[in-house]
Amino acid sequence: MSVTPDQMKAFCETVVRGREANPDLSLNDYLTDVPRLDSLADLPLGTVVLVRGDTDAKPGAKVGEGDIRLRSMADTLKYGQEKGWVQVVFGHIGREPEKSLDKVAKRLGELLGTNIPMIEDWLDPATTTVTPAVTEAIAAAKPGDVIVLQNTRKYDIERVLWKAKPEQLADLAPQLAKLANELAEKVGTVYVHEAFSAGSLDASSVAVPAAMKRVALGKYAAGEFDGPMQQCLKAALAVFSGIKIDKLDDMEAMISRGTIKQIFASGSLAMAIRKAIGELDDKPVCLGAAEDPANSKAPWYIPPARVEQAKAIVADGREKGITFTVPCDSVIEDGSAKDELSPSDQQFDIGPKSIQHFHDAVTKFIETAPKGSVAFHNGVFGMFEDPRFENGTKSWVPELKRMQDAGINVYVGGGEGGKALELYGEESWVTHNFTAGGTVLNALGSEPVPYLVALREAAKD
């Protein structure tokens, strides 16, 4: 089966438009429609299977170090090995095109107890043609072998959909169709997605499935959606922090599901909520440099429209009986803490009063929430990579343990929040720490997970 440019355009439109394309579909609708790995059980020995892997990892010296995403792929790859498939794993590492998957291939080999070759140049970017190195390696492979293709982001085509508007898709579709058809023709027409964290609009995860005869979601990714994610859909407390202001959209979507009783907002994005509460309660709040239009390009800039959105969230939330807990002081550039920011101050962390405020709010949540309630945490409370601004995050992590010790089920949405847990606490302090930040927010929030949209579309035919 090959995909025409027009079909690719329509396929990518559905993925790029996301919720707008299918406003009535929930996460669970996507999960119902996407086939699972077991649906491929009938594939014969020697079938070549393209596996979009969770290769964005930093394997350390020993197994267990920096390779959680690679270990998460092991069950799916072992299943393929037992079936005697030839599995061709491809995926990205980091954002820089020159980064290499060499250590990833080596660690995957250690995990599977086999030698895994990596093909350095697998695509001719000038013609979007799969190279003979790939066809030769596949021809030489034995049933059960695994082959890794170098970092997909090495080739520009991988990232063309990232910022694409629907009206640009007609121009992009021919080359995307060529890529998908080349892989289908020269590698194989069976595609398994086992990259839970690959939430971007990468060609390998959202365009390539369009040319595939059979697609399936890998065992680990399916387990994360079917298990912990289902619990998070029932969260009573959601903690949103970090710098990405668009997390307000996800907060809104989580609230609309009706289970949230409390929102804690911290980090830079909390400033929008803090200002919104100030305006609603007639107690004006200055956000300092974060609301100065001169900084409108900065990632920590809070646009007026986001304050308006936050006002609507708080007003609507209060009507539903939801309480909002936000910081009441800030640590600024010189390391000092201030209750009120002046126009030139930039917030880098929450201050000591806020740390106490969140501690007290956790105490109240523990006292009032029934045992077995769910708390979901995303992000970090300050620029924690700099020791001067780590206190807010460092003091928050033990609060997760305090909740878990009190019988609350605590889920951490990966990303920087997951890193902070590793740094200031232990995995055992929470019920589950996801291996991905963006995917978890997509799944719980306002937009569907792009690869689930693509798999669902591909499975339709």
Ligand X SMILES: O=C(O)[C@H](O)COP(=O)(O)O
Ligand Y SMILES: Nc1ncnc2c1ncn2[C@@H]1O[C@H](COP(=O)(O)OP(=O)(O)OP(=O)(O)O)[C@@H](O)[C@H]1O
Residues at the site binding ligand X, with contacts judged by CB under 6 A: 56, 95, 197-200, 436-438
Measured CA to CA in angstroms, residue 332 lies from 2, 223, 287, 337 at distances of 57, 42, 11, 6
By beta-carbon proximity to ligand Y, the closer residue of 228 and 438 is 438
Neighbours of 107 (CB within 10 A): 24
Q: How far is the CB of 182 from ligand X (least distance, A)?
A: 23
* Near ligand Y in 415-454, by CB under 6 A: 415-417, 437-438, 441
Report in angstroms how near the CB of residue 289 gets to ligand Y at its nearest: 11
Cβ at position 416, least distance to ligand X in Å:
10
- Residue 47 near which of ligand Y, ligand X, none (CB within 5-8 Å, type-dependent): none
Q: Least CB distance from residue 437 to ligand X, whole Å?
A: 6
Residue 330 has, within 13 A of its CA and on its CB side, a CA count of 25
191-220 residues in contact with ligand Y (CB under 6 A) are none
Question: Which of ligand X, ligand Y, none binds 380 (CB below 5-8 Å, type-dependent)?
Answer: ligand Y
Total residues found in the chain within this entry: 461
Please, what is the minimum distance in Å from the beta carbon of residue 450 to ligand X? 10
Q: Are 287 and 302 in contact (CB under 8 A)?
A: yes
The least distance separating ligand X from the CB of residue 184, rounded to whole angstroms, comes to: 24
Angle at 193 between CA 429 and CA 83, to 5 degrees: 105
Window 284-323: residues binding ligand Y (CB under 6 A): 300
Q: Residue 197 binds which entry of ligand Y, ligand X, none, with Cβ cut-offs from 5 to 8 Å by kind?
A: ligand X
From the list ligand X, ligand Y, none, partner contacted by residue 185 (C-beta under 5 to 8 A by kind) = none
Residue 383 within binding range of ligand Y, rule CB under 6 A: yes
- CB proximity list for 35: less than 8 A, separation 6 or greater: 214, 215, 216, 217, 455, 459
> Per DSSP, what are the bridge partners of residue 90?
52
Select 188 or 450, whichever has its Cβ closest to ligand X. 450
Smallest gap from residue 198 Cβ to ligand X (A):
6
Q: CA 340 to CA 328: how far, in whole Å?
A: 8
Q: Which is nearer to ligand X, 189 or 197 (CB)?
A: 197
Instruction: Report the partner that residue 451 touches, choosing among ligand X, ligand Y, none (CB closer than 5 to 8 A by kind).
Output: none
Cβ at position 56, least distance to ligand X in Å = 3
Question: Considering only residues 220-279, where is the footprint of ligand Y by CB under 6 A?
Answer: 242-244, 267-268
3-class DSSP state for residue 35? coil
Binding range to ligand Y, per CB under 6 A, among 142-150, 214-222, 276-284, 381-389: 381-389
Residue 20 DSSP symbol: G
- Mind giving me the DSSP string for 193-234? EE-TT--S--HHHHTGGGG-SEEEE-HHHHHHHHTHHHHHTT
Per rule CB under 6 A, count of chain residues that contact ligand Y: 23
Instruction: Label residue 156 exposed, middle or buried (CB < 10 Å: 0-12, 13-18, 19+).
Output: exposed
Candidate residues 65, 121, 308, 385; the one interacting with ligand Y per rule CB under 6 A: 385
The residues, ordered by sequence, that sit 6+ positions from 213 with a Cβ below 8 Å of its Cβ are: 1, 184, 189, 190
Q: Which residues pair with 378 in a beta bridge?
A: 240
Question: x-or-dash pattern for ligand Y, window 349-378, by CB under 6 A?
Answer: -----------------------------x
CB atoms within 10 A of CB 207: 28
Residue from 384, 396, 429, 451 binding ligand Y (CB under 6 A): 384
Minimum CB separation from ligand X for residue 1, in Å? 28
* Cα 428 to Cα 422: distance, rounded to the nearest angstrom: 10
DSSP assigned state of 18: G
Binding-site ranges for ligand Y (CB under 6 A): 242-244, 267-268, 300, 347-348, 378-380, 382-385, 413-417, 437-438, 441
